[in-house]
Amino acid sequence: MLTLDDFDFPLPPALIAQHPALERTSSRLLHVAGERLDDRLFAELPTLVAPGDLLVFNNTKVIKARLFGRKESGGQIEVMIERVVDARHAIAQIRASKSPKPGSRILLEDAFTLTVTGRTGEQGEFFALELDGDGDLYALTERHGRLPLPPYITHAAAAEDETRYQTVYARHVGAVAAPTAGLHFDEAMLARLQEAGAELAWLTLHVGAGTFQPVRVHDVAAHRMHSETYELPQATVDAIARTRARGGRVIAVGTTTLRTLEAAAQGGELRAGTAETDIFITPGYRFRVIDRLITNFHLPKSTLLMLVSAFAGMAPIRAAYRHAVDEHYRFFSYGDAMLLERQP
């Protein structure tokens, strides 16, 4: 039985990156291939990719999902959008001295009003919200909201974050957390990868705030993942088929890309389309699509640490994280990156 203790490690707080590197590609890159650990620079990535390889990116765009306001009673409230369902409906986390009841109204940023229509989620941790009157929630959050930096970043979102907590290829609005492995890429890096003979492909998974929810059960098998929406284009499925045919490797840029592709292959064949996934990948999982993974360093006891342990092996990941701490790598969203080879 796997427990939370199997995925714990000591992390000095000073290693949690509070700001991005000076340039997107100037972060460090730890290459993990079984027991072998190589300290590299992210700028060297094109030399680690072979002609005929395929890199798949998540092109979701982070919305300004954090909003402040007040309840009808006058009490202060903070809303963190988990998902914009459509132009009039959203699911959110709410912080308040007293949780608002269904039917109550909340005024956000002195600009627009939402009605609480109920509770949702595995443990009722989210609130269902409906926009009062005319308007579009996507436009309203963009105009009045704040960028939702992760809870371990201690400063309020600033102008730097507006740019750097967004990938250069972000296209489709809907995420409330960035697919952070993609933050290391700039346009010049994408061009260099193609010049090296690699192919690029795209999908969309809208990352929810649930990605930061802690695992609350000791027995890992008892944990239930939050659900997220993805769209996998047929063009990307075709690109993966071409890569397999020519003997290339499929490289997922980020755990959200990996989860999307593995979820879309659960029926045995990779299928394009739009769907929801709550796939939970832990050691023992048999990967169907991905050969290599580019990812950041993840939180102790997190589902993402479980995922990379399944992909690269528990012992190699433990060794890699010990090495990263010893060598003062920078951790989490604004931190350094890893290139992981899949273990048989």
- Domain 66-144: give its CATH code: 2.40.10.240
124 pLDDT band, cuts 50/70/90, is confident
Domains 4-62+160-341 and 66-144 share a fold: no
Cα separation values, 245 from 28, 240, 248, Å: 32, 9, 8
pLDDT beyond 90 at 294: yes
Enter the pTM of the model. 0.94
How many CB atoms are located within 10 Å of the residue 73 CB? 11
14-69, pLDDT tens digit by residue? 999 999 999 999 999 999 999 999 999 999 999 999 999 999 999 999 999 999 99
pLDDT beyond 90 at 209: no
pLDDT at residue number 208: 81
- DSSP-derived pairing of the beta strands 273-277 and 199-205: unpaired
d(CA 15, CA 277): 32
- Domain 4-62+160-341: give its CATH code: 3.40.1780.10
d(CA 242, CA 186): 25
pLDDT at residue number 211: 66
CB 133 within 8 A of CB 120: no
301: DSSP letter: T
d(CA 306, CA 295): 13
Q: Where are the domains of the chain?
A: 4-62+160-341, 66-144
Integer distance in angstroms from the first to the last C-alpha of the chain?
A: 21
Mean pLDDT (whole number) for 212-239: 90
Q: Which of 166, 208, 165 is nearest to 18 (CA)?
A: 165
DSSP string, 33-63: ETTEEEEEEGGGGGGGS-TT-EEEEE-EEE-
Report the half-sphere exposure of 142 (CA within 13 A, side-chain side): 11
